[in-house]
Chain A
């Protein structure tokens, strides 16, 4: 088949394909996705779509006319690759030849080895996951959520709104503590507690108990909680196993340069989205994977430009990558918005309001402002976003 082969049919794969076309590449594009669906928006899966019923067609991203001739291979995953031979082997045994490869294979939820029945335990990553969780969410359900990150907390809010009893169990001291810090994390916990969510923090789950399906969970402090539905939301693992054996740096996702290009002489390869560990000149420091809403779009745009240049025999741009990481969350009727890298901060200051109400929180390190988080203060964040973007021009 040749041309550009994109492994991953999520937002990053889609945006890379658009950017390839927008950058003048007119050869064949093949997109391989392990789900049966065309690219769709995942954030609503823990919120509106979980609350109201999962309609994947309504969540699909628009596909521009420039992508009408893309070949979609859905329901298939990449199982191995040979960059020297420029081939990828798919789960049905087919071998795809490529001229240029886009790694957009994303992440999967981390699973912890906890003994007990499997039935009643769920993940929340895909539309199909959300459909299964939705089926178990009802008034009277006892939902135990393992993990107090964004997916865990958003799911808790949705489940509570639907009338379920909800308990969050997490090793962290506060929900969402790594990006938000302890004080704002506590503020978010207070909001959840006001809605009736219970927390067991600093605890882990030792076992799932039940005859054939989960009926309760045992915590590390001996507490036993009833559970009709367990959601495991304890972080993610990058899907890179299919790239093993090619001499790539896969230590946490796939390492790329500022053009999203993978360092290898074997073939033109770029990586995008959650799986790409990339530098960011706005914030410096080591390359990082950033699982934020806008990163598949930003990295995909750049990667498409890079790969189009490589396939056209041109040197890709060596401009720094200066995308503004941005994420948002919706819990009950509270809107949380972040810009920058608040998780990098050494000093956190509440700039407006207080953490239990509408507020703006600043995150600083030795270089100055590195992040901002606002709760229910959307317009007030605009100047902060500008200030963070100005870091790019300051650093030259």
Chain B
């Protein structure tokens, strides 16, 4: 079981809240758009969902 994290690049505004919440799962690219670790272990689901929760643009999906 892995957790798939995706960022909607057209919605992300680069506020970086996900980076502060889970810095090992997200980083900002050169355009200041969030990039997520592609697939992570199931035990990181709660961290990924917390990061999705704090996104003001609701741009992060955790599946």
Are the CB atoms of A48 and B57 closer together than 8 Å? yes
Are the CB atoms of B20 and A297 closer together than 8 Å? no
Is A72 an interface position by the 8 A CB rule? no
Are the CB atoms of A378 and B58 closer together than 8 Å? no
Please, which residues of chain B bring their CB within 8 A of the CB of A43?
A: 56
Min CB distance B19 to A, Å, is 7
A104-131 near B? 1/0 per residue, CB < 8 Å: 0000000000000000000000000000
B56 in complex: contacting residue of A15, A44, A379, A381, CB < 8 Å: A44
Please, which residues of chain A bring their CB within 8 A of the CB of B28?
A: 378-379
Are the CB atoms of A330 and B20 closer together than 8 Å? no
Closest to A49 in B: B57
Min CB distance A213 to B, Å, is 33
Is A190 an interface position by the 8 A CB rule? no
Count contacts on B: residues with CB < 8 A to the other chain.
16
Is B6 an interface position by the 8 A CB rule? no
A326 in complex: contacting residue of B20, B23, B32, CB < 8 Å: B20
A376-388 near B? 1/0 per residue, CB < 8 Å: 0011011001000
A293 in complex: contacting residue of B16, B19, B56, CB < 8 Å: B56
Are the CB atoms of B23 and A382 closer together than 8 Å? yes
Count contacts on A: residues with CB < 8 A to the other chain.
24
Inter-chain CA distance A189–B15, complex, in Å, is: 21
Q: A41-B58, A44-B56, A297-B54 are in contact. Are A381 and B20 (CB under 8 A)?
A: yes
**B contact set with A: CB distance below 8 Å:** 13-17, 19-20, 23, 28, 32, 52-54, 56-58
Q: What are 14 pairs between A and B in contact, CB < 8 Å?
A: A43-B56, A60-B58, A62-B52, A62-B58, A293-B56, A294-B17, A297-B53, A326-B17, A330-B13, A330-B15, A335-B14, A337-B20, A379-B19, A385-B20
**A contact set with B: CB distance below 8 Å:** 15, 41, 43-44, 47-48, 59-62, 293-294, 297, 326, 328, 330, 335, 337, 339, 378-379, 381-382, 385
